[in-house]
Amino acid sequence: MPTIQIKGMRCGHCAASVTSALQAIDGISEVKISLEKNEASFKQSQEVPISTLKNAITAIGFEVVD
């Protein structure tokens, strides 16, 4: 499963926001968030550019860590 590091998630609301932002992207499903690890993992049915992921996360006030 692809996994990305996300900065700024603090609670269940943050996790839910990130989940819906990622799931709104074409080709991404089954998003799982780990607040302890600051990670989001997901299933990818097609290639999604990292810039698309970053934009979606940035748009809701979080940051993808490189």
Return residues touching Cu ion (CB under 5 A). 10-11, 13-14
- State in angstroms the smallest separation of the CB of 3 from Cu ion: 20
> Which is nearer to Cu ion, 14 or 48 (by Cβ)?
14
Tell me how far apart the alpha carbons of residues 17 and 60 are, in angstroms, rounded to a whole number.
7
57: buried, middle or exposed (CB in 10 Å: 19+, 13-18, 0-12)? buried
- State in angstroms the smallest separation of the CB of 20 from Cu ion: 13
- State in angstroms the smallest separation of the CB of 66 from Cu ion: 22
Phi, psi values for residue 28, rounded to 5°: -110, 135
